[in-house]
Amino acid sequence: MKLHSNELPSGKSYTLHKTLAIVFSLVILTVIPLLYNLVNYYSVFIVNNSPKSPSNSYSSSSNEKNDGVAETLSNYQEEEEECDIFTGEWIPNPNAPYYTSSSCWAIHEHQNCMKYGRPDGGFMQWRWKPDACELPIFNPSQFLELMRDKSLAFVGDSVGRNQMQSLICLLSRVEYPIDESYTADENFKRWKYKSYNFTMASFWTPHLIKAAMGDSNGPTKTGLFNLYLDEHDQEWTTQIDEFHYIIISGGHWFFRPMVFYENHRIVGCHYCLLPNVTDLGMYYGYRKAFRTAFKAINSLKNFKGMTILRTFAPSHFENGLWNEGGNCLRTKPFRSNETQLEGHNLELYMIQMEEFRVAEREGRKRGKKFRVLDTTQAMLLRPDGHPSRYGHLATENVTLYNDCVHWCLPGPIDAWSDFLLQMLKMEGIRSVRDRLQFG
């Protein structure tokens, strides 16, 4: 905000200079601890702006200095944005993990790999290193300060829940939340960090749109689902107005047989094997589902938060499909030159990004913010991070497939919080810069 000396009674130039410098410093310092890389910039700014003598030219000098800080912030942001934090390699991190299966109660049993006897622990000791810059390890105190008086919702399937539980465990070094869920249904959880007035919630919607079980068996004995491609899933679309951030994701459920409805009639399916129903393939339903979900968000007049697309995280079944004995037994990450995004993984990723860009353009017209948390490349390189058979006791009499979809906790999914925190920091920089430039 630009301030002028004639806004206060005359004869107060020195007091004005000092007061405004202090006020401005306090505003900046509210953000600075969270934007650790900018401390030096702000320190220099505050020192340089300490009043040395009364002056009648405060207005012009203050504006010039504010513009200088805005330029510094802008330059820093440009440098950071030039660095693609989502392109890089996994490198050893002997300091990890930052919690254990015994120290965090939030770990879902099926992802509690060390509890259930996984023999190797090296998969927990890697961190993501972008090619052109550093990505700081997640700082729970910084995150909670950034999220003070705010709210975050995870919208999607069990991998989204996997991400939320990873975040809860990482934050447990500072505080555990209390359960403030409005229902006993475990698919709709709400957690409150009382010391920070921060709410975190999850909304179960594996197809993102209105869907229902059509046949509990279906052609593959995994269910046949009716997807209403042009209808919102009101279980979450009616609940998110109050949230400051939502992280939306989905993918793995679209591999199962589906029947597609549009305008209340069947238009096709994916591997439904029903007579006189055209097989349009999974990509048709996947694209329409994201399109409808994004349209739902853009149609919400009272939702003023930020929508973050968390991109598809590939599975790593080898030597068979998930229901045909496929497994994931590797014990270290791939290098980026050892594998590539292709096939279903590439197609699902491209569909997400294409629909995201359409939604972002439309959202911008309506004053809505969309961002991408691009986990695809990083997780493509982590065939070692899945539970496989270590999601239950070996002696337990259960029928479970090897899990090469979800992620062990602790494990590589913890890096998603590294990404998220860095994104939030950049949003903070952008906000301060805009206030200085246009305030």
- What is the average per-residue pLDDT within 98-124? 95
Q: Quick check: pTM over 0.85?
A: no
Per residue in 354-379, pLDDT tens? Answer: 999 999 999 999 999 999 999 999 99
Is the torsion defined by CA of 32, 373, 391, 182 positive or negative?
positive
Distance of alpha carbon 258 from alpha carbon 225, whole angstroms: 5
DSSP 20-64: HHHHHHHHHHHHGGGSGGGHHHHHHHHHHTS--S--S-HHHHHHH
Residues classed as catalytic: 158, 403, 406
Looking at residue 288, its amino acid is K
Cα 179–Cα 183–Cα 189 angle in degrees, nearest 5: 45
Per residue in 382-405, pLDDT tens? Answer: 999 999 999 876 666 555 689 999
Give the whole-number percent of the chain exceeding pLDDT 70. Answer: 78
Q: Output the pLDDT for position 431.
A: 73
Distances (CA, A) of 388 to 167, 326, 414, 416: 22, 9, 18, 20
Catalogue the E-assigned strands of 166-249: 178-179, 188-193, 198-204, 209-215, 224-232, 245-248
Tell me how many helices (H) and strands (E) the chain has: 10, 13
- Helix, strand or coil, per DSSP, at residue 163: helix
* Paired tokens of 348: 């699902």
Q: Output the pLDDT for position 394.
A: 63
